[in-house]
């Protein structure tokens, strides 16, 4: 049940930030290079939310919980990218891995140390 809640937290945060960025892109004329940055921010916000939710439910080992949550999310993102993206490449593999693991680890730490259970 905790994992299902983490998946829902990930989807809610990632889709909310995607919606926010799409509204920004509607009104501003942005260069195409910024789309990758916005997608990475959406992925990281989802990883943070999922790790925070799961760690707040477990209430122990926040860093490890966040790290494992980030590793699962990164693996799923690479796997789904290899399946659905026609010109898939592992460009930025280590930077994306580092960013996702950092965001999810911070989410895990903050989830364990939060006062209110989510």
Domain boundaries, the chain: 2-112
- 88-103, pLDDT tens digit by residue? 777 778 888 999 999 9
**pLDDT level of residue 116 (50, 70, 90 thresholds):** low
Tell whether the model's pLDDT for residue 118 goes beyond 60.
no
**Among the listed residues 42, 62, 61, the one whose alpha carbon sits nearest the alpha carbon of residue 52:** 62
Cβ contact 56:111 at 8 Å: yes
Cβ contact 45:108 at 8 Å: no
User: Could you give the 3-state DSSP secondary structure of residue 18?
Assistant: helix
Tell whether the model's pLDDT for residue 13 goes beyond 70.
yes
Q: Cα–Cα–Cα angle for 55, 59, 63, nearest 5°? A: 50
- 17-55, pLDDT tens digit by residue? 999 998 888 888 888 788 888 988 999 999 999 999 999
Alpha carbon distance 39, 58 (integer Å)? 29
**What pTM was estimated for this model as a whole?**
0.86
Look up residue 115 and give its two tokens.
């006062």
């Amino acid at each position: 049940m905790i994992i299902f809640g983490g998946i829902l937290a990930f989807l809610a945060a990632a889709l909310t930030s995607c919606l926010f960025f799409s509204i920004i892109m509607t009104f501003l004329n942005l260069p195409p290079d910024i789309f990758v940055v916005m997608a990475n921010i959406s992925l990281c916000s989802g990883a943070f939310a999922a790790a925070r939710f799961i760690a707040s439910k477990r209430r122990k080992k926040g860093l490890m919980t966040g790290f494992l949550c980030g590793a699962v999310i990164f693996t799923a993102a690479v796997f789904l990218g290899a399946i659905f993206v026609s010109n898939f490449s592992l460009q930025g593999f280590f930077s994306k891995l580092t960013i996702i693991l950092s965001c999810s680890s911070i989410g895990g730490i903050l989830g364990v140390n939060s006062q209110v259970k989510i």
